[in-house]
Every structure is written in structure tokens, then in C-alpha cells.
């Protein structure tokens, strides 16, 4: 069944607020095997609402409309829908009384324009709003169904699953399909190369779809299996997932809700290792990510932001001679920072970052984006240099990601390129 999504409100089309309703509804519909035919956002204009609704109805079996149901003059959704189908409006007395009772219960002053929130096109089925004042409704026209609900995200998230979905599923009138998904998370391989590597992977396209979703600095591959048979859907998902991971093995770090910092934390916990971090370029970003993981106090001892040369000397033992000879952004300094923070914190592993985030500070030999990351356990040390081309914020983000990835590889006994 194809479902269109229409969000209404000039606050959306002018960028004053972000449209979160479309993302929520599309996700909920897709997870239940409904196909979202299209999504549109229009301002508070009768012509725009009418045109968008007509288009969505022409390519969909059902349309979900959010927004424009309030009491003010610019809330025109219901009037537009009634006019589009040549229907008169009526006031539902039950809905009106519920709205008045809510005003009285919360001691809100009543004004007569609020009665507009209990007004519906003739033939519409009112849908109660348990968390707000404006009611929604369902309207069947020409063998298609239109759902209209308020645009407040909290109300959408309450009314869709409890009120809209049961009507939609009854209207679909077919055997319910199972939808299973699996996300494979990658790092260190560009999206185009991921696609090229998997170009000839065989799978049943009637049951399974493969989507590529860049989530800087990661790439996510989302497998979606849709079938009336759960076992068959699960089998397809697992078989294709294995094929993909065999080809992209060294770039795969996790699945579904995994984060790289969470994976690293689990490895440190499993191997009973402790960690300290010295950050120059990243300015505490790695420490922030590591400590966002519940239970990180078991393995994370401290983070040192050694942004200045003086802090590198005072806290980490990097000598002024080293800084003079090699510079703060160098392999030698990165290694000494990692060793210094490890010795300072008396941990098993030390990790460090240093680099030039820009937009200024670069030279011909060390342009903006030059980065060094080092890891050591006192016996073995690994340092890798990078040349990133992003802006300042993204250079910091991708450096923190690479630092965690190099740490993951270090713990697993792999080299900096992910090889045994």
C-alpha cells in the first residue's frame, strides 16, 4: 500500500522549525511494509495545500496530513480539504465538549475560535487527540483515505500509532508483511567504493532491498527484508549480510545501534585494559565520546587537553627541543604525547591526536588537515598520519573517529591498516 505524507505550515517552508514529522511517519510506515510514495511540505496557502493533496492522492492509496488544525486564521487545512471535495463543514458536539473540558481542567481561558478545532468535513470520522486540543479525522474519498492530524510532534507520535494506524491497517486489507532490518556500519571506505565492491552481490530483490546511507564520517548499509514469512525474511537478511561483511570485513566495526566508542569500550572491558587520552587537535572530543558510554569509568582513566605547546611540555613530557625540531604537529610529538599521558595516568594504553584544523595555521609542508594519531601500550607503538580536506569541525570529527578506529585495531592486534 502506498502512503503519501503532507506536512503543512509556513514555519516549515521558511525554515523556522525543522520538519520532524515526516521523518517519524516515514520510518514508522516503512517499518510496517508501507511504501511512502512521496512526502511534501507546503506553507499555509490554500492553493499549495490543494495542489499538494491532489498530487499525493494521484500516486497514493492513502495520505497522512499534519498541521494547520489550530484555532488561528492561518490554520486552513480543514477548510482546504472540504473545499477540494465540495464538502460542507460541521461541528462535532462531542469533540467540542471534550476540548472545552480540557480548557477548563487546565484553567485555560476559552475563546470561541477554539471551536474551530472540532470542525470537520461532512463524512469525516473524528479522531480524538489525547494530548492536545485539536482533533484529527479520517476522510474516505474515491476509494482512498486521508488522515488529518495536528502538526505538533508530540501529538503526532501519540495519535499515529494509537488512532491512525489501526484504521490504515484495516483499510490495507491484505496479509501483513513482516519487515526486518539490519544495519552494517562501516568506516574508512568511501560510499562509491562500497557500492562498487558490492555491485555483483546476488540477492532476491523481491524480498530484500539494500540501501547506502552516508552518516559522516561513517557509511551505513541498511538491509531491509519484507515478507509474509518471518523465517524466510530472516534467512535472506542473514545470508546477504554475511556476503557483504565478507567483502568489507576490515571496514565493518558494528551493527544497528552500535557506536565506535561503544565497541572500543566493550573491547577494553573484555580485555581488562585501561586508557588515557591526550588531545590537541580534537580538544576533548574523543574524551566526550568515550565517556558518553555507560560504564566507561571501568576503563577510562583520564583525558588531557594539551592544546598549547606549554601543556604538552608541562603535562606530557614533550621537550621544547622536540617541539622546536619536529613541531607540535608531527609523528614524534604524537608518539610522545601518547606515551606521556599513559605514564601520567598509569594506564595500559595511551592515545593521542595532534594536527591543524584550519582554516589558518597550515604551511607548504604541513597544510591544513594534517593530522597525526598515536597509540601505545609501552611495548608497541603505532602512529599514522592523515591529510584531511574537510572544514575545521569535520576535521575534528573524522580525527576522533580515526583515533577510535586505530585504538580498536590496536586492541584487536591489527596494524593501522586493519591487517593482521
For residue 287, tell me if it sits in a domain: yes
For residue 196, tell me if it sits in a domain: yes
Long-range contacts of 257-263 (CB under 8 A, 24+ apart): 258/185, 259/289, 259/293, 260/187, 260/218, 260/289, 260/401, 260/404, 260/405, 260/408, 261/289, 261/290, 261/292, 261/293, 261/404, 262/293, 263/408
CA-to-CA distance for 94 and 255, rounded, in angstroms?
A: 49
For residue 417, tell me if it sits in a domain: no
Tell me: do 233 and 306 sit in the same domain. Answer: no
Please give the mean pLDDT across all residues of the chain: 94
For residue 229, tell me if it sits in a domain: yes
Q: What is the mean pLDDT of residues 194-221?
A: 91
Residue 174 above 70 pLDDT?
Answer: no
- For residue 102, how far is the Cα from the chain centroid? 36
Within 327-369, residue ranges assigned H as helices are 331-345
Q: Tell me which of 255, 278, 299 is where a domain ends.
A: 255
Contact 12, 74 (CB under 8 A): no
Cell numbers for 98, please give them: 471534550
Tell me: do 28 and 110 sit in the same domain. Answer: yes
- Between 172 and 265, the more confident residue is 265
What is the separation, in whole angstroms, between the first and last Cα of the chain?
A: 49
Tell me: do 6 and 100 sit in the same domain. Answer: yes
Q: In terms of residue numbers, what domain contains 206?
A: 178-255
Q: For residue range 347-378, what is the model confidence (pLDDT) as tens digits?
A: 999 999 999 999 999 999 999 999 999 999 99
Residue 306 above 70 pLDDT?
Answer: yes
Q: Model confidence at 42, in pLDDT bands (50, 70, 90)?
A: very high
Residue 179 above 90 pLDDT?
Answer: no
Measured CA distances, 228 to 31, 34, 92, 239 (Å): 14, 13, 40, 18
Q: Model confidence at 139, in pLDDT bands (50, 70, 90)?
A: very high
For residue 418, tell me if it sits in a domain: no
Phi and psi torsions of 192, nearest 5°: -65, -40
The DSSP secondary structure of 141-202, one letter per residue, reads ETTEEEEEE-S-HHHHHHHIIIIIHHHHHHHH-SPPPEEEEEEEEE-SS-HHHHHHHTTT--
Q: Model confidence at 175, in pLDDT bands (50, 70, 90)?
A: low
Tell me: do 295 and 392 sit in the same domain. Answer: yes
Tell me: do 265 and 138 sit in the same domain. Answer: no
Q: Give the pLDDT score at 288.
A: 98
Phi and psi torsions of 159, nearest 5°: -75, -35
Tell me: do 213 and 307 sit in the same domain. Answer: no
Cell numbers for 146, please give them: 486521508
Residue 177 above 90 pLDDT?
Answer: no
For residue 357, tell me if it sits in a domain: yes
Q: Give the pLDDT score at 31.
A: 81
Report the CATH number that the domain containing residue 191 is assigned in CATH: 3.30.70.2860
Cell numbers for 56, please give them: 499525493
CA-to-CA distance for 405 and 399, rounded, in angstroms?
A: 10
Q: Give the pLDDT score at 247.
A: 95
Count of structural domains within the chain:
3
CA-to-CA distance for 240 and 137, rounded, in angstroms?
A: 42
> 3-state SS of the chain: helix, strand, coil percent to 5?
40, 25, 35
Tell me: do 234 and 154 sit in the same domain. Answer: no
For residue 340, tell me if it sits in a domain: yes
Q: Is residue 287 helix, strand or coil?
A: helix
For residue 396, tell me if it sits in a domain: yes
Q: Give the pLDDT score at 173.
A: 74
Tell me: do 282 and 251 sit in the same domain. Answer: no
Closest CA relative to residue 118, chosen from 107, 109, 131, 129: 129
Report the CATH number that the domain containing residue 405 is assigned in CATH: 3.90.950.20
Contact 55, 42 (CB under 8 A): no
Measured CA distances, 301 to 275, 365, 408 (Å): 6, 35, 17
Tell me: do 284 and 357 sit in the same domain. Answer: yes
CA-to-CA distance for 7 and 66, rounded, in angstroms?
A: 5
Tell me: do 211 and 298 sit in the same domain. Answer: no
Tell me: do 234 and 164 sit in the same domain. Answer: no
Q: Tell me which of 218, 237, 255 is where a domain ends.
A: 255
SS3 sequence, 197-241? HCCCCCCCCCCEEEEEEEECCEEEEEEEEEECCHHHHHHHHHHHH
Q: Give the pLDDT score at 181.
A: 92
- What would you report as the CA-atom Rg of the chain, rounded to the nearest whole angstrom? 28
Q: Model confidence at 86, in pLDDT bands (50, 70, 90)?
A: very high
Bridge partners of residue 141, in order along the sequence: 144
Report the CATH number that the domain containing residue 128 is assigned in CATH: 3.40.980.10
Residue 204 above 90 pLDDT?
Answer: no
Tell me: do 158 and 216 sit in the same domain. Answer: no
Q: Give the pLDDT score at 324.
A: 97
Closest CA relative to residue 85, chosen from 48, 136, 139: 139
Strand pairing of 35-42 and 2-8? parallel
Q: Model confidence at 176, in pLDDT bands (50, 70, 90)?
A: low
Lowest model confidence (mean pLDDT) among 31-35, 58-62, 103-107, 243-247: 31-35
Cα–Cα–Cα angle for 106, 107, 110, rounded to 5 degrees: 110
CA-to-CA distance for 282 and 288, rounded, in angstroms?
A: 10
Q: Give the pLDDT score at 183.
A: 96
Percentage of the chain modeled with pLDDT above 90? 88
Q: Tell me which of 255, 286, 309 is where a domain ends.
A: 255
Phi and psi torsions of 197, nearest 5°: -65, -30
Amino acid at each position: 500500500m502506498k502512503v503519501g505524507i503532507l506536512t503543512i505550515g509556513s514555519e516549515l517552508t521558511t525554515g523556522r522549525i525543522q520538519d520532524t514529522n515526516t521523518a517519524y511517519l516515514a520510518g514508522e510506515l516503512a517499518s510496517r511494509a508501507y511504501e511512502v510514495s512521496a512526502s511534501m511540505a507546503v506553507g499555509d496557502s490554500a492553493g499549495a495545500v490543494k495542489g499538494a493533496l491532489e498530487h499525493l492522492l494521484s500516486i497514493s492509496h492513502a495520505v497522512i496530513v499534519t498541521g494547520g488544525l489550530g484555532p488561528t486564521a492561518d490554520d486552513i487545512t480543514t477548510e482546504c480539504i472540504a473545499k477540494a471535495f465540495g464538502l460542507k463543514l460541521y461541528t462535532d458536539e462531542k469533540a467540542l465538549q471534550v476540548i472545552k473540558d480540557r480548557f477548563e481542567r487546565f484553567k485555560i481561558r476559552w475563546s470561541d475560535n477554539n471551536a474551530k478545532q472540532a470542525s470537520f468535513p461532512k463524512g469525516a470520522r473524528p479522531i480524538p487527540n489525547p494530548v492536545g486540543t485539536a482533533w484529527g479525522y479520517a476522510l474516505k474519498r474515491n476509494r482512498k483515505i486521508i488522515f488529518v492530524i495536528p502538526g505538533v510532534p508530540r501529538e503526532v507520535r501519540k495519535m499515529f500509532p494509537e488512532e491512525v494506524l489501526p484504521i490504515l491497517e484495516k483499510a490495507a486489507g491484505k496479509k501483513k508483511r513482516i519487515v526486518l532490518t539490519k544495519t552494517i556500519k562501516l568506516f574508512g571506505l568511501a560510499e562509491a567504493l562500497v557500492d562498487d565492491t558490492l555491485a555483483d552481490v546476488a540477492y532476491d530483490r523481491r524480498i530484500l532491498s539494500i540501501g547506502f546511507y552516508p552518516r559522516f564520517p561513517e557509511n551505513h548499509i541498511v538491509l531491509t527484508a519484507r515478507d509474509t514469512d518471518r523465517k524466510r525474511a530472516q534467512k535472506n537478511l542473514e545470508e546477504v549480510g554475511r556476503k557483504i561483511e565478507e567483502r568489507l570485513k576490515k571496514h565493518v566495526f558494528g551493527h544497528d545501534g552500535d557506536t565506535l566508542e561503544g565497541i572500543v569500550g566493550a573491547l577494553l572491558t573484555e580485555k581488562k585494559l585501561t586508557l588515557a587520552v591526550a588531545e590537541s587537535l580534537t580538544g576533548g572530543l574523543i574524551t566526550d565520546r568515550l565517556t558518553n558510554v555507560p560504564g566507561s569509568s571501568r576503563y577510562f582513566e583520564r583525558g588531557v587537553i594539551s592544546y598549547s605547546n606549554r601543556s604538552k611540555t608541562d603535562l606530557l613530557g614533550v621537550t621544547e627541543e622536540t617541539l622546536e625540531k619536529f613541531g607540535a604537529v608531527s609523528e614524534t610529538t604524537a608518539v610522545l604525547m601518547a606515551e606521556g599521558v599513559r605514564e601520567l595516568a598509569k594506564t595500559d594504553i595511551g592515545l593521542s591526536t595532534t594536527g591543524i584544523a584550519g582554516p589558518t595555521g597550515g604551511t607548504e609542508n604541513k597544510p591544513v588537515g594534517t593530522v597525526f594519531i598515536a597509540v601505545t601500550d609501552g611495548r608497541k607503538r603505532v602512529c599514522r598520519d592523515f591529510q584531511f580536506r574537510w572544514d575545521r569541525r569535520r576535521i575534528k570529527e573524522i580525527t576522533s573517529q580515526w583515533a577510535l578506529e586505530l585504538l580498536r585495531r590496536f586492541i584487536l592486534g591489527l596494524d593501522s591498516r586493519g591487517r593482521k
